[in-house]
Amino acid sequence: MTSYQHQVIAVTHSPYKEKFAVPRQPGLVASAKAELEMLPPYDDINAFNGLEAFSHLWLVFEFHKNAPSSDVANRWSPTVRPPRLGGNRRVGIFATRSPNRPNNIGLSLVEYHGVIQRDGKIFLSLSNIDLVDGTPIVDIKPYIPYADSIPDAKAGFAQTSPEKLLAVDFNQDAVSQLQSLPSHYSGLQLFIKEVLQQDPRPAYKKLKTDNKIYAMHLSDFNIKWQCTTSTITVLSVDYV
Amino acid sequence: MTSYQHQVIAVTHSPYKEKFAVPRQPGLVASAKAELEMLPPYDDINAFNGLEAFSHLWLVFEFHKNAPSSDVANRWSPTVRPPRLGGNRRVGIFATRSPNRPNNIGLSLVEYHGVIQRDGKIFLSLSNIDLVDGTPIVDIKPYIPYADSIPDAKAGFAQTSPEKLLAVDFNQDAVSQLQSLPSHYSGLQLFIKEVLQQDPRPAYKKLKTDNKIYAMHLSDFNIKWQCTTSTITVLSVDYV
């Protein structure tokens, strides 16, 4: 079988330190900020000349937490259970953007905020991202609305944005912890709220109360939370 | 340097038999029809279950006419001259969708018309394509407008669709040839017209009259044409 080799050109520095809590599409957590660190020889400032005229970028990335694509013959499954269908209906893999696909190739549309030069390196400043920390990038392309934007395209069960099902509260302990943080963490509370509104629990728990205490590693913090009576309550925000 | 291996899952059967005449973005030549032939083991009909609800697909493909990505260190150029700028202004490679990029990865948004089962094989029926015949496909993803459509994204010099600069005429010989074709070629004349409206000549010839006779291989035909006084005239349509 023919295959092609693609080199990693950049690495993602993201507040999502694990797959749990990553939103299921880009564009759902506006305050999710990240930087791409360009790797040599692609860290040439001239390669970004003109990119300042664009507001959005396509990232082509590797789902690097999967088994390698070269093992795909062993793990190939033509159907998956998408979370949008509650996790209990199977559809064809090519009708979804599931990470478990023939090749581990992901596509993510992100907001672009410019190039940063720091410590002799080149970084791209992004927001509205859905990539886990360390994600390898194999291509960066500008978003071109006349070619890429088809607002009336049909998309079946993925026609509309997922509803923000849950209210998010912070208990007194969590509020105190957030208030004691240095000022460069000022966006953290909003970020936690936007992540939890999406309900990162497994799909079959949607809309269900659940006594379990969940933990997630976001930015430099371990965040504990619980879902009771359709509200998620943040219990603690501990520096890792 | 880290790299990833991606397997070819499908091959494109397209009327564009060579790079010349391929439009510079998808969506510019609506009547360009193609089929993807799924390769085993990805030719399982179940893998497309649910895809009938989607009108558009993303294809992630290999620019297979380029030198291999693994040779990129030898041919890496941080800037290119996009045709939209007349081919004489350099911009950063990441501000363009030029095929000459670090990895030979292309992204194309196409219209989807369903699965065809024929001769024990699985084909996807597409239109509005911009892929040359034989293009290897490494991923197929559904288009999801709530995540992918950003009509007001900023895109600099690529903000608007390229104008269809040229009128297209067919001379008497070409018309006779088209009229003598079997009925399954009935869309050929419109297709030729849509391709030539884009002016496939090199960017520096845009809007210029040119006595040269050009030939292009479209579908099963060698098509000759010439550009005079802002009109392209099709001279002949010969079966190859």
**Euclidean distance between CA atoms B74 and B70, whole angstroms:** 9
pLDDT at B209 over 80: no
Residue B26, min C-alpha distance to chain A (Å): 7
Chain B's closest residue to A152, CA to CA, is: B145
Identify the pLDDT of residue A152: 93
CB atoms within 10 A of CB B116: 12
Please state, for a pLDDT cut of 90, what percent of chain B lies above it: 70
Give residues with Cβ within 8 angstroms of B104, minimum separation 6.
Answer: A4, A6, B62, B63, B64, B66, B68, B69
- pLDDT-derived band at B80 (thresholds 50, 70, 90) equals very high
Q: ipTM of the assembly?
A: 0.91
**Per-residue pLDDT tens over the stretch A26-61:** 677 888 899 999 999 999 999 999 999 999 999 999
Contact of B96 with chain A, judged by CB distance below 8 Å, is answered with yes
Q: Report the share of chain B in percent with pLDDT over 70.
A: 96
- Give the confidence band of A73 by pLDDT, cuts at 50, 70, 90: low
Give residue-wise pLDDT tens across range A138-168. Answer: 999 999 999 999 999 999 877 777 776 789 9
Share of chain B residues as helix, strand and coil, in percent rounded to the nearest 5:
20, 35, 40
Q: What is the pLDDT of residues A79-103, one digit of tens each?
A: 998 877 777 789 999 999 999 999 9
Write the DSSP symbol of residue B62.
E
The pLDDT value recorded for residue B74 is 63
Compute the average pLDDT of residues B146-153: 93
Q: Are the beta carbons of B158 and A144 separated by less than 8 Å?
A: yes
**What type of residue is B185?**
Y
Q: Compute the count of residue pairs across chains A and B with CB atoms less than 8 Å apart.
A: 285
Percentage of chain A lying above the pLDDT 70 cut: 96
Q: In what order do the strands lie in the sheet with B231-239?
A: B167-170, B231-239, B221-228, B210-218
Is the confidence at residue A199, as pLDDT, over 80?
yes
Q: Return the residue of B nearest to A92 by Cα.
A: B47
The 3-state DSSP class for residue A160 equals: coil
Task: Check whether B10 has a pLDDT greater than 80.
Answer: yes
Residues of chain B with CATH 2.40.30.70: 10-148
Which of B89, B146, B164 is the best mutation test for A, with the most CBs of A within 10 A?
A: B146
CB count in 10 Å sphere of residue A185: 16
Q: A9, A45, A144, A157: best mutation site toward chain B, by most B Cβ within 10 Å?
A: A144
- For residue A176, the distance in angstroms to the closest alpha carbon of chain B comes to 35
Chain A residues 30-59 within an 8 A CB cutoff of chain B: 39, 41-42, 44, 46-56, 58
Instruction: Name residue A117's amino acid.
Output: Q
Model confidence pLDDT, tens digit, residues B192-202:
999 998 888 88
Give the integer Cα–Cα distance in Å for B148 and B233.
38
CATH node for B10-148: 2.40.30.70
Q: Where are the alpha helices (DSSP H) in A33-181?
A: 72-75, 145-148, 172-179
Tell me the CATH class for A167-239. Answer: alpha beta
At A240, is the pLDDT very low, low, confident or very high (cuts 50, 70, 90)?
very high
Minimum CA–CA partner of A144 in chain B? B155
Interchain contact, B146 vs A154, CB within 8 Å: no
Mean pLDDT taken over chain B: 90
- Reported confidence tier of residue A1, pLDDT bands at 50, 70, 90: low
Which pLDDT band holds residue B27 (cuts at 50, 70, 90)? confident
The type of residue at B87 is G
What pLDDT is attached to residue B218? 94
Chain A touched by B109 (CB under 8 Å): yes
User: What is the pLDDT, as a whole number, of residue B72?
Assistant: 62
Q: Is the pLDDT of residue A137 over 90?
A: yes
CA separation for the pair B218, B223 (Å, rounded) = 7
Reported confidence tier of residue B83, pLDDT bands at 50, 70, 90: confident
Minimal CA–CA distance to A136: which of A59, A218, A71, A23?
A59
> Is the model's pLDDT at B206 over the cut of 90?
no
Amino acid A136: pLDDT: 98
Find the mean pLDDT for residues A120-133. 95
pLDDT at position A74, please? 63
Contact A148 B109 (CB under 8 A): yes
Q: Least CB-CB distance to B27: which of A1, A69, A147?
A: A147
Task: Tell whether B74 lies on the interface with A, counting CB pairs under 8 A.
Answer: no
pLDDT the model gives residue B73: 60
Report the range of poorest mean pLDDT among A45-54, A166-175, B79-88, B145-154. Answer: B79-88
Contacts A63 to B, Cβ<8 Å = none
Q: Is the peptide bond before B82 cis (omega within 30 degrees of 0)?
A: no
Report yes or no: B126 and B35 within 8 Å, Cβ to Cβ.
Answer: yes
Which residues from B are below 8 Å from A72, CB to CB? 7
Percent of chain A topping pLDDT 90: 70
Evaluated on CA atoms B203, B205, B206, B211, the torsion sign reads negative
| Partner-chain contact A47 B90, CB within 8 Å | no
According to CATH, where is 3.30.2310.20 located in chain A?
167-239
Is the pLDDT assigned to residue A11 strictly greater than 70? Answer: yes
